[in-house]
Structure 1
């Protein structure tokens, strides 16, 4: 970061402006990742400055400029990087920044809360009690505290963390405080959600004990993702209602029988379907279809049938049996057959069922107009699984759309393969020449999506995200130097650094 200067960032904005005017792919990619407020037809110098500021973790150019003028740009950039690392759980980056600059968080109340520095928090509140209620960036201090993942690196600081929470509460902090993840979002994320997402059960217990609402629309859903059921049991014990949360369907993503039993016992309905956009409120599908979609086992299907799931209910032109055959989920199909719910398959579903076995009859193609809507996303749904590569090849040969962005998240099949760390699938899809400049609705490029998956994909310890990064870089995607600094995994950062040194022209 030592080479940063306002002049160099202004020059970068000018370069971006010139690249955009010339239609350069790298410039369009940067603008897609950080969309300006104006339409692309009416961009001004301020819009390009704002993109540069967003890329460095600041909400606007004036905020970046103010930080640079008051603290120095290098120091300000490190502060922003520390904030992001604490929120994302990149504790390797946190430790490195604090080792390099031990006083980095001094005088910054939100960061002191996120680092559980009880004595500093107490001293600041004694001097300025209103700090407990002051919004610092998008979040107030209790949200900085609850969303911090520093506890994973420093579990011995739990008493200091809880004492900090008590201090904030004593000065008026709201345990039900919330924030919008992106500017303009109607959906708000609570302090409780922050602690659940951070897998910080001590913080979650404290919040619930002090009146946090367990029905915040997100916490129960995300409690099913943790690899244990402590958070799920904790929320249910405090009155969390599974209705309308999609928590049941999310538990099925992991074929988690015990979580499904818990949720059904607390009122989750296997036939509930509701609308939405993302996460806990994503558009739901009936439970039997979800079992087929996620490859659940026969026991799961029998549990759902015993709980009242309708094996004859149609969804998007299909029955559960036809859907299971189309996806090649034999355990689901066999469980339905055993209860008498097998049925003949139409032409398109028969072709999909053949593809599930790795067969694509020569000279036969799917009719896109006759393809059931329930199956339009089939390739994206299986792109995470290397074992499904023969099926993926057969689907492409049959003419199934393979590079369509998801209608809600804008994520493509090759991005899913990269996020999941599945180089075999990603290599095949790259061979089909996908749009490498595509930016999904999270602002993710192919490279940044792989980086996110290397830190957040459920099977990241068994996956090979470095191989996926190498494939993407060999395919010619740009390597932003900021990606090297922001990588949360040491092995990933080392690989990217080595690549940048060997391919300096690709590092931007």
Structure 2
């Protein structure tokens, strides 16, 4: 069979699988024993609760695929020309999609032939050496926005095949010795080629998390001060990345890396950064010049992120000023209005408690669940909320992003905070914030209130797109219930937008739900 005839048959093949899934769904609803057994065998779920996604999954498993997204990806890929399949492979290696990469390589072992970027992304040292021997200038030739060294450093191939990790270092040496720029960059957004740039070092450390490769680049002279790598090293789930940056003298203050570390419950990491020279009285970089007096310091940031009394003691011992103001609030007042009782008690024990203003007493009563005290303020709740700084009117958005914060979120909404309010920095709502972290209980609560489900944040995503992206990119994704979150948002009427990556950027399980929702329309 010719390639062209294979391509022409692919849409019909996919349509037949879709038809089979719908037939299976009807049979399940009719109580057909064989259909129920097929669902149980494929999904392990109780057949009577089978969703359309389960029927698609069963059909895919019976066809020899691990999931419906895998089946669909394979069929759609077969319909692409060679260049299109190369782009798919580059994306799979960039995102760390092992099943997709495997299927592409198995279906066409010659797919990477002559493409130095893909050979580098696959850590194929023999092929890279052979290409460079014939054509040394290939080391600096770009494929779209990326040169071969950027294909290498942004590749997550080592995560898919850990035994290949050291080959990446050999490939890096081959490219650098042939003239590749060790500090080469690419646009963070391909749609804005002259916009913000990401370095090869960031690719190795912040994107792919390949610490050994990042170390090698630094040892060969890569610039550690790219204003991204230190910050994103905090997201790796271990401290090897920040140790590496410290070993190579990376600038810390002014990068927001210390604030990023405080976003996580990692006391050792925070202590390491203070020992390295982090300024506990620094405010976030974007406010250091114009609004420093309003933005407090690391102590306020830690409290807002839910860090406990251990962090308060650490930061106070390092010299953080508890009397500094964050949008008019002392550290103690901030702890009270965020419901961070452990931090508040630590400040009290250190003699850093401060009197609360009227609007602070109102908020503290609400988040503490002191109904009597909160009710006394309710006749003036709108006025008190309006008296807050505009960003503090987004307090409930911060709480919506905190695991375990449902009761505080409910209290703030009951006190008069607008569920559809958009924050000033990213134009996110509380629903967006909860969706990013996969906090399904928060999402379910917020969906009870009228709001614009199609509102898009500064990244161009609605709440559903935010949840999809969070399922693979949120550093705390493992703790989120993204499947239920996505189901709730779809049921509420949030639109699915394949043109914005909704079928590409989610986890396998989330993508299956999105696929099923589209198929079921």
CA distance in 2, matches of 1:244, 1:484: 34
> Which one of 231, 236, 242 corresponds to residue 226 of structure 1?
236
* Counterpart residue number, 1:466: 483
SS in 1 for 2:431: helix
Q: Pairwise mapping of residues 343-422 of structure 1 onto structure 2 (< 5 A)?
A: 343-358=354-369, 359=371, 360-361=374-375, 363-367=379-383, 368-373=385-390, 375-422=392-439
TM-aligned CA deviation for residue 363 of structure 1: 4.2
> 2:347 aligned with 1:340, yes or no?
no
Alignment check: 8 A CA contact 2:465 2:497 kept: no
The answer for the alignment partner of 1:317 in structure 2 is 328
The answer to whether the 8 A contact 2:8-2:79 is kept is no
Residues 409, 98 of structure 1: alpha-carbon distance in 2 compared, 3 angstrom cutoff: farther
Which has the higher mean CA deviation after the structures are superposed, 430-439 or 365-374?
365-374
- 2:255–2:285: 8 Å Cα contact kept in structure 1? no
Contact 1:91 1:488 in 2 (8 A): no
Preserved contact between residue 296 and residue 325 of structure 2 (Cα < 8 Å): no
Instruction: Say whether residues 1:269 and 2:279 are aligned partners.
Output: yes
Higher RCO (C-alpha under 8 Å, 6+ residues apart):
1
1:48 corresponding residue in structure 2: none
Give distance in 1, aligned partners of 2:7 and 2:305.
47
1:297 is aligned to 308
Q: Quick one: which of 101, 111, 120 aligns to 1:104? A: 111
1:208-227 CA distances to partner (integer Å, 9 max, x unpaired)? 11001112111111111111
Give the distance between the partners of 1:440 and 1:484, measured in 2 at CA.
Answer: 15
Q: Deviation at 1:480?
A: 4.3
Q: Go from structure 1 to structure 2 and tell me whether the alpha carbon gap of 1:4 and 1:287 turns closer, same or farther (over 3 Å shift).
A: farther
SS of corresponding position for 1:259: helix
Equivalent residue for 1:195, pick from 200, 204, 216: 204
Shift in Å, 1:254: 0.8
Partner of 1:10: none
SS of structure 1 residue aligned to 2:421: coil
Question: Residues 4 and 148 of structure 1: is their aligned pair in 2 closer, same or farther, counting only changes over 3 Å?
Answer: farther
Q: Tell me what 1:475 maps to.
A: 492
Aligned-pair CA distance for 1:488: 5.0
Q: Give the structure 1 partner of residue 261 of structure 2.
A: 251
Q: Distance in 2 between matches of 1:96 and 1:484?
A: 21
The answer for the alignment partner of 1:328 in structure 2 is 339
- CA displacement, residues 124-173 of structure 1 (integer Å, 9 cap, x when unaligned): 22222111112222221111101111110111112322111111011011
* More divergent stretch after superposition (299-308 vs 186-195): 186-195
Structure 1 residues without counterparts, runs of 5 or longer: 6-70
**Structure 1 CA distance, aligned partners of 2:119 and 2:506?**
21
Which secondary structure state, in structure 1, belongs to the residue aligned with residue 447 of structure 2?
A: helix
* Contact 1:220 1:242 (8 Å CA) reproduced: yes
Equivalence for 1:213: 223
Could you tell me which of 149, 155, 158 is aligned with 1:151?
158
Alignment partner of 1:486 is 2:504:
yes
CA distance in 2, matches of 1:338, 1:465: 39
Q: CA 1:481 to 1:104, structure 2 compared with 1: closer, same or farther past 3 Å?
A: farther
Shift of 1:304: 0.5
Quick one: structure 1 residues 172 and 85, their matched pair in 2 at CA, closer, same or farther if it must change by over 3 Å?
Answer: same
Q: What's the C-alpha RMSD, in Å, of the aligned pairs?
A: 2.6
Alignment of 1:51-90 (within 5 A): 73-90=80-97
- The equivalences for 1:132-151 within 5 A come to 132-151=139-158
Contact 1:317 1:373 in 2 (8 A): no
- The structure that has the greater radius of gyration is 2
Question: Equivalents in 1 of 2:476, 2:214: separation in Å?
Answer: 25
Distance 1:355 1:101, change over 3 A: farther
Out of 436, 442, 445, the position equivalent to 1:425 is: 442
After TM superposition, give the deviation of residue 271 of structure 1 in Å.
0.6
Q: Does 326-335 or 367-376 show the bigger shift?
A: 367-376
TM-score, normalised on structure 2? 0.78
Secondary structure of the residue that 1:189 maps to in structure 2?
A: strand
Which residue number in structure 1 is paired with residue 470 of structure 2? Answer: 453
User: Could you tell me whether the CA contact under 8 Å between 1:208 and 1:214 is conserved in 2?
Assistant: yes
Summarize deviations over 1:280-331 as a string: whole Å, max 9, x none.
xx99751111121011111111110111100111222111111111101111
Match of 1:58 in 2: none
Whole-angstrom distance in 2 between the partners of 1:459 and 1:274: 22
Distance, in Å, in 2 between the alignment partners of 1:79 and 1:479 is 26
Q: Which blocks of at least 5 consecutive residues in structure 2 are unaligned?
A: 1-5, 11-77
What does residue 137 of structure 2 align with? 130
Distance change (3 Å), C-alpha of 1:391 and 1:491? same
* Cα deviation code 1:51-98 (max 9, x no counterpart): xxxxxxxxxxxxxxxxxxxx9854443332322232222333322333
